[in-house]
């Protein structure tokens, strides 16, 4: 099966995309479906469940709602969603290994609905997580929200990376440079690149009706190395196999601020005060 979306046109590669009101509504619909898909897939997370099963559930839900799973066939990616377990930073391919008690994973969903992509991800726990995993997930979600909160018209795109980095360092984590946010619309990935770390890339300032993702990946070690699986050419982890976590929302810049199109941001697990107690309600994620 081939990827059903499209890449940016040469013009879209050069300039930042400001959407019409009709295009914004198309984005809202795609993002609502992406969020619903993520919640549906996340409910299946539990010890003994395979990531292949999670992928099947997401795929069927997307197709049943008249859409297409954007990752399927994209640059050869073989599945409908990415499932990145434990030390995998990103682009994990669903497979037949059952999840074990204490595993945690990122489910990354993008749907293509009526000509528009909606993109979101969050972390889920297969049973009670370790304190280490719970701390990392909480810090990563906090960093994503810090990056989103600075967004608005007239804001330099580099402020996102500064805010995310400050939040991550406050929690003793490292922003991994291999995964970045991106413009999104009728194309899956486009300009601008939303770098989640301190950078000098000058994309200008945010303008109303721009849509893009904010999606930092954090590791719980001072490790920015990246190793890509030599066989599948997708699965990414650090050289030290540090634990990784990622959260993602698609946002819209409005006249007066921003709108989280894949929101709302809800902390499903209620992490405090006890990560183990909070995670006893299985199949819960937080975004």
Tokens at 17, concatenated? 């995309």
In DSSP notation, 58-118 reads HHHHHHHTT-EETTTTGGG--SSSEEEETTEEE-PPP-SPBPPTT-EEEEEEEEEETTEEE
Nearest residue to 278 (alpha-carbon basis) of 171, 129, 139:
129
Q: Is 248 annotated as a binding residue?
A: yes
What CA–CA distance (Å, rounded) separates 45 from 128? 12
Please list, in sequence order, all residues whose beta carbon lies within 8 angstroms of the beta carbon of residue 165, skipping any fewer than 6 positions away: 175, 196, 197, 198
Long-range (24+ apart) CB contacts under 8 A made by 8-11 are 8/183, 8/187, 8/189, 8/190, 8/191
The Cβ-side half-sphere exposure at 55, using a 13 Å CA radius, reads 21
Q: Is 189 annotated as a binding residue?
A: yes
Please list, in sequence order, all residues whose beta carbon lies within 8 angstroms of the beta carbon of residue 240, skipping any fewer than 6 positions away: 221, 223, 225
Q: Is 249 annotated as a binding residue?
A: no
For residue 121, the cross-strand partners are: 108, 248
Burial of 15 (0-12, 13-18, 19+ CB in 10 A): exposed
Characterise 241 by phi-psi region: left (phi > 0), alpha (psi -120 to 50), beta (else): left
What residue numbers does the annotated binding site cover? 91, 108, 119, 182, 189, 215, 248
What residue numbers does the annotated binding site for substrate cover? 91, 189
What residue numbers does the annotated binding site for a divalent metal cation cover? 108, 119, 182, 215, 248
């Amino acid at each position: 099966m081939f990827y059903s979306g499209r890449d940016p046109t040469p013009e879209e590669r050069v300039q930042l995309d400001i959407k019409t009101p009709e295009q914004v509504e198309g984005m809202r619909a795609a993002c609502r479906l992406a969020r619903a898909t993520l919640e549906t897939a996340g409910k299946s997370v539990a010890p003994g469940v395979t990531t292949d099963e999670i992928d099947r559930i997401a795929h069927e839900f997307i197709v049943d709602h008249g859409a297409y799973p954007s990752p399927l066939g994209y640059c050869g990616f073989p599945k409908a969603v990415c499932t990145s377990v434990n030390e995998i930073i990103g682009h994990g391919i669903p497979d037949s290994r059952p999840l074990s008690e204490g595993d945690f994973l990122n489910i990354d969903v993008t749907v293509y609905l009526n000509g528009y992509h909606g993109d979101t991800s969050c972390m889920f726990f297969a049973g009670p997580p370790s304190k280490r995993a719970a701390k990392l997930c909480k810090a990563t979600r906090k960093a994503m929200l810090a990056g989103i909160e600075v967004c608005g018209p007239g804001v330099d795109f580099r402020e996102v990376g500064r805010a995310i980095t400050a939040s991550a360092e406050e929690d003793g984590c490292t922003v991994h440079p291999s995964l970045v946010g991106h413009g999104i619309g009728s194309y899956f990935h486009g300009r601008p690149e939303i770098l989640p770390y301190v950078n000098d890339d000058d994309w200008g300032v945010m303008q109303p009706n721009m849509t893009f993702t904010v999606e930092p990946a954090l590791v719980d070690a001072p490790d920015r190395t990246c190793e890509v699986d030599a066989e599948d050419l997708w699965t990414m982890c650090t050289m030290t196999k540090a634990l990784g976590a990622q959260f993602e929302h698609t946002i819209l810049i409005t006249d007066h601020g921003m709108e989280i199109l894949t929101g709302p941001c809800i902390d499903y697990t209620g992490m405090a005060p006890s990560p183990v107690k909070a995670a006893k309600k299985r199949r819960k994620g937080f975004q």
